[in-house]
Chain A
Amino acid sequence: MSLDYFLTVSVFSMINMILASSLNILIGYAGQVSLGHAAFFGIGAYASAILTVNLGMGYWPALLLSVFISGLIGLLLGLPALRVREDFLVLATIGVNFVVVSVFNYVKFFGGPYGILGLPRPSLFGHAFTTREYALYVLLWTLVVVFLVRYLSNTYLELGFDALREDEDAAESVGVSSPRYKMYAFAIAGLLSGLAGNLWAHYMTVVFPDNFSFPVSIGILTMVVIGGVGTLVGPLIGAIIVTILPEVVRFARDYRIRNSREHKGVDLR
């Protein structure tokens, strides 16, 4: 096991931790179940890709702007939540995910199915980050996010989310504005997953529409559910488990490929 392999797996784990935490704010804190989280993730990644590659912006302004954009779009995509509840909201967010991916896929501006290539690694004082430094950089952001979520769960915001989650009508009746807290939840989730998207895109240096398709949303949801919905540490552990498990049981994947080769001599996956 080389160092690069270890670093890559840890970077993915940390990015997944940010994603799981952001989805946890939606599901666990505010009670808004979203199955379109990969769309938020993808918007962060694509925003950064377009800003740096197509518009030639530097990494740092692009970081700020892409996180801001994804927060804004998170807010917009949260609009259905104001009208629909529970399982209808799940359906709507599934729809959002499919629509966003097909926009990435079919609109020329987003590079189509070939995606956007050649994102720069961030650099500081003229020194581009190496993989090792990038891992540290991601670690820094992960810590920031974890402490931010921890801080949020001690504020007035969290009380509003609690009320919203437990009973929307009861919350309304005591003066907690449910649209307002729903928008907050979606905006925060959008911001954080946009950050995750940005970190992911600049680590991979390429983005494709398929990276943000619906199964990815399911993966993020799995992390949250495995770790424990509504807890601070749960989604973090869930993210680590879900990221590392496929690496640990890699022999099973090898089996799958071998199995299909035996039949027809091709492997499509």
Chain B
Amino acid sequence: MLQNIVNALVLGSSYVMIAVGLTLVYGILKILHIAHAGIYAFGAIFAVYLCEIGLPLVFAVTLSLILSALLGMIIYKGFYKHVLDRGRIVPLVMSVGLFATMEDLYRLVWGPYKRPFDVYINLPDVMTMDLYLSSRGLLMLIVTAVVIVLLYLLLMRTKLGKSLRACSNDLGLAGAFGINTDRSVAFAFLIGSSLAALGGILVGLYDNTVYPTMGSVPSYKAFVVVVLGGFGSIRGAVVASYILALVGTFVVYYFGFLLPRDAIAFLTMILLLMFKPEGLFGKVRR
């Protein structure tokens, strides 16, 4: 029981990391940023690569996060920005293509095989009678908690957060009131991409494997979270991540559903889109 809850929390944390960026981007630009998971994979692979060539973990992670953030911004400035006025389908198709290209590029550069994430983490393993949580899982929970708090402070207490919220409410109106929307969007990409990369690194650490296509399933599954949380609501996305993880874990554990967890998630998403398109926590917005 306890073990299941903890496992679900770890799983949910991995959803949070990737879903927050997607929600930010979707909330502001209303585009589905599938290539986000490409950044997730990039962060993890690049961090492992840096560790392999002998850099210390903290430095490798920092460098990888910075580069991932820049990559996210390049994707916005170089690609999405030019097609924003052509309907919502065009950026989406572009994003899908971009994601496929990115995955193949990583495969070409770093090879197609799974790599272990061999580093030592200075945290104890939690081991009691009915609970086992590895140091890496513990790290994941701690980092996610810190990130959620920081994100809350950033969005609610800073000027940047205020402008992000304004943009997410109405991009045109925010621009009309003198907010530099382009810069805000770029910041949303910076923040979201570095979080995705952090998520990739944490998942890579937890599973101790990193590979070029590690983003494939998360990329689409994260949208389940975005839909569930009500499009564009960060708080909703965070809550939805944990709900999805908890429900998925318990359904699979107790009922042994004949479909895997991913399929349940997608099925939920389709039903939700059909019958409650504003999500569990979103406001009705047409």
A: which residues have CB within 8 A of B? 33, 35, 79-80, 83-84, 86-88, 90-92, 94-96, 98-99, 102-103, 105-107, 214-215, 218, 221-222, 225, 256, 259-260, 263-264, 266-269
Q: Which residues of B contact A96 (CB under 8 A)?
A: 266, 270
Mark contacts of B32-66 with chain A using CB atoms, 8 A cut-off: 1 yes-contact digit, 0 otherwise: 10000000000000000000000000000000000
- Given A84-B274, A91-B223, A91-B227, the answer on whether A98 and B93 have CB atoms closer than 8 Å is no
Question: Apart from A98-B220, A106-B259, A269-B112, what are 7 other A-B pairs with CB-CB below 8 Å?
Answer: A88-B273, A90-B89, A92-B269, A99-B266, A256-B107, A259-B108, A269-B107
- Asked if residues A92 and B96 are in contact (CB atoms below 8 Å), the reply is no
How many residues of B sit at the interface, in one of the four size bands? Answer: 20 to 34
A87 touches B113 (CB 8 A): no
Known contacts A98-B220, A99-B267, A259-B108; decide if A264 and B113 are in contact (CB<8 Å): yes
A33, A99, A215: the one contacting B263 at CB < 8 Å is: A99
State whether B274 touches A86 (Cβ < 8 A): no
Contact with A along B252-286 (1 / 0, CB 8 A): 00000011101100110110011101000000000
A106 to B31, CA, bound (A): 33
Q: Which of B97, B100, B112, B266 contacts A98 (CB 8 A)?
A: B266
Interface string of B227-244 (1 = CB under 8 A from A): 100000000000000000
Which chain B positions have C-beta within 8 A of A80?
270, 273-274
Quick check: A106 and B273 within 8 Å, CB to CB? no
Q: Identify the closest chain A residue to B221 (Cβ).
A: A98
For B92, what are the chain A residues with a Cβ–Cβ distance below 8 Å? 33, 87, 90
Within 8 A of A (CB), among B62-121: 88-89, 92-93, 96-97, 100, 107-108, 111-113
Contact check, A256 vs B274: say whether CB atoms are below 8 A apart.
no
Q: Chain A's nearest CB lies how many Å from the CB of B89? A: 5
Residues from chain A with Cβ under 8 Å of B262 in the complex: 98, 102
B93 adjacent to A256 (CB under 8 Å) = no
Give the interface centre of A83, A102, A225 by most chain B CB atoms within 10 Å.
Answer: A102
Min distance, Cβ B34 to any Cβ of chain A, angstroms: 9
Closest to B30 in A: A87
Q: Which residues of B contact A35 (CB under 8 A)?
A: 96
Q: Majority SS of interface residues in chain A?
A: helix
Residues of A within 8 Å of B88, CB to CB, are 86-87
Chain B nearest Cβ from A253, distance in angstroms: 11
A222 touching B112 by the CB < 8 A rule?
A: no
CB within 8 Å for A106 and B260 given contacts A87-B89, A88-B277, A221-B96: yes
> Residues of A contacting B269 with CB < 8 Å?
91-92, 95
Given contacts A98-B220, A102-B263, A256-B108, A225 and B93 within 8 Å (CB-CB):
yes
- Listed from nearest, the 10 A-B pairs whose CB atoms lie closest are A95-B266, A102-B263, A83-B274, A95-B270, A98-B266, A260-B111, A87-B88, A84-B273, A268-B112, A92-B273
Q: Is the CB of A102 within 8 A of B93?
A: no
CA distance A88 to B107 in the complex (A): 30
**Contact partner of B112 among A33, A86, A260, CB < 8 A?**
A260
B260 / chain A contacts, CB cutoff of 8 Å:
102, 105-106
Known interface pairs A107-B258, A260-B112; A83-B275 also in contact (CB < 8 Å): yes
Which chain A positions have C-beta within 8 A of B100?
A: 215, 218
Report the separation of the CA atoms of residues A91 and B33 in the bound assembly, to the nearest whole angstrom: 12
User: Which of A91, A102, A105 touches B32 (beta carbons < 8 Å)?
Assistant: A91
Q: In the complex, what distance in Å separates the CA atom of A266 from the CA atom of B111?
A: 10
Sample (22) of A-B pairs whose CB atoms are under 8 Å apart = A79-B274, A80-B270, A83-B274, A84-B273, A84-B277, A90-B89, A91-B227, A95-B224, A95-B266, A95-B267, A95-B270, A98-B220, A98-B266, A107-B258, A214-B220, A215-B100, A256-B107, A264-B111, A264-B113, A266-B113, A267-B112, A269-B112
